[in-house]
Amino acid sequence: MAVQTTYNFDQMLSNAREAYGEELYTMAKEGKDFVFTFSDNVAPSASAGKLRKDFPDRCFNFGIAEADQVGASAGLALSGNIVFAQVFGPFLSLRAADQIHTDIAYNDVNVRLIGTHSGVTSGGGPTHNVIADLALYRAIPNLTVVVPADAGQCCKVIRASMEFEGPMVIRIDRAGSPNVYAGDYEFEIGKAIETLEGTDGYIISCGSNIYEALMAAKMLKEQSNLSIGVLDMHTIKPLDTEAILRVAYKTGVVVTVEDHSVNGGLGGAVAEVLCEHGYKGIFKRIGMPDEFSVLGDSDAIYNFYGMDRHGIVKTLQSLMH
């Protein structure tokens, strides 16, 4: 059963980068026991800044030493703490890769690495775009990887992770993405959400791309009378293979959409599942091509590479006609 969404309303913005701090602050006020480490981009005025101000004994600032931060977070976890570690996205996956692999994942510790500014939302150009992180994370044992669709879902992930055993990456965008979900709904790490039901095809996506996928489905219904469903694959690892196979065999048309390289991310993971199960239907990956991005804000880049709603519509129309 599809959940209630807000996708008919085009200006309902959320901010997962603020939401994670708000949820941590709320949980701290509730008496939940955890430690927070952070890098240099947590301002005192931010929601995470309130956590720093009111709970200074559990907050540790590592400045621009991200690799040290990840290693120290592992040490804090080995001491018996649940640790939330906020790191600027490109430096988490590239600069601290060794520490993620050896300190966090190998020791199988309770650290939740919150990687902000994901994909091309960082706004820092090709050197700061975060387009290879999912490929890295998927290959590291013991690592759970979650990509929330909006601020509300980010809060659900943060809270659910308190009861979760083992290391986790929570990948969020820079800020200002539309809300996807209206009201409460059931969320479980590792279980995809059928955000919109379809009978002609499915878009499998994650993160803020879910909203563009919903808008594309709406346009396809209006323009071509096509019923396209949207599957929110918020957990990239472990992957909900049952949900992938269910929607693939239901319609025979699957398109993945992600703010990541087409190599090794969600699209690659879905392709592996379909291939290994003998799927013979239509399949296409939409994401960053195998190149460094053009310069521009995220919306312009999405449009340039056909990753926005118009590009998704064009791709599905070409596949189905």
Cα gap 34→193, rounded to integer Å: 28
- Residue 231 in any domain: the answer is yes
Q: What is the pLDDT of residue 262?
A: 96
> Which of 18, 22, 30, 66 is labelled catalytic?
66
Of 178, 206, 236, which one is at a domain's C-terminal end?
178
Q: What's the pLDDT tens digit per position in 130-141? A: 999 999 999 999
Q: Cβ–Cβ contacts within 10 Å for residue 131, how many? A: 28
Q: What's the pLDDT tens digit per position in 81-106? A: 999 999 988 899 999 999 999 999 99
Cα gap 200→255, rounded to integer Å: 12
- Residue 8 in any domain: the answer is no
Instruction: Verify cis geometry, omega within 30 degrees of 0, for the bond prior to 289.
Output: no
Cα gap 250→277, rounded to integer Å: 14
- Residue 159 in any domain: the answer is yes
**Judgement on whether residues 148 and 254 belong to the same structural domain of the protein:** no
Asked whether 289 and 306 are in contact (CB, 8 A), the reply is no
Cα gap 71→96, rounded to integer Å: 8
Asked whether 77 and 111 are in contact (CB, 8 A), the reply is yes
Of 152, 178, 204, which one is at a domain's C-terminal end?
178
> Is the predicted pLDDT of residue 290 greater than 70, yes or no?
yes
Question: What's the domain range around 215?
Answer: 193-320
Q: Which range scores top for mean pLDDT: 79-93, 109-123, 254-268?
A: 254-268
Q: What is the pLDDT of residue 253?
A: 97
Of 113, 148, 178, which one is at a domain's C-terminal end?
178
Cα 288 to Cα 122, 130, 132, 274, 310: the distances in Å are 14, 11, 10, 21, 15
Q: What is the pLDDT of residue 197?
A: 96
- Residue 254 in any domain: the answer is yes
- Residue 2 in any domain: the answer is no
Lowest mean pLDDT across 28-42, 69-83, 215-229: 28-42
Cα gap 195→25, rounded to integer Å: 29
Question: Alpha helix (H) ranges present in the chain?
Answer: 16-29, 47-54, 66-78, 89-90, 97-99, 133-139, 151-161, 209-224, 241-251, 266-276, 298-304, 309-320
- Residue 185 in any domain: the answer is no
Asked whether 32 and 168 are in contact (CB, 8 A), the reply is no
- Residue 35 in any domain: the answer is yes
Q: Is 182 helix (H, G, I), strand (E, B) or coil?
A: coil
Q: What's the pLDDT tens digit per position in 187-199? A: 999 999 999 999 9
- Residue 232 in any domain: the answer is yes
Q: What is the pLDDT of residue 11?
A: 45
Q: How many domains does the structure of the chain reveal?
A: 2
> Is the predicted pLDDT of residue 9 greater than 50, yes or no?
no
Q: Confidence band (pLDDT; 50, 70, 90) for 8?
A: low
**Judgement on whether residues 27 and 163 belong to the same structural domain of the protein:** yes
Cα gap 50→218, rounded to integer Å: 39
The CATH number covering residue 93 comes to 3.40.50.970
**Judgement on whether residues 97 and 130 belong to the same structural domain of the protein:** yes
| 66 a catalytic residue | yes
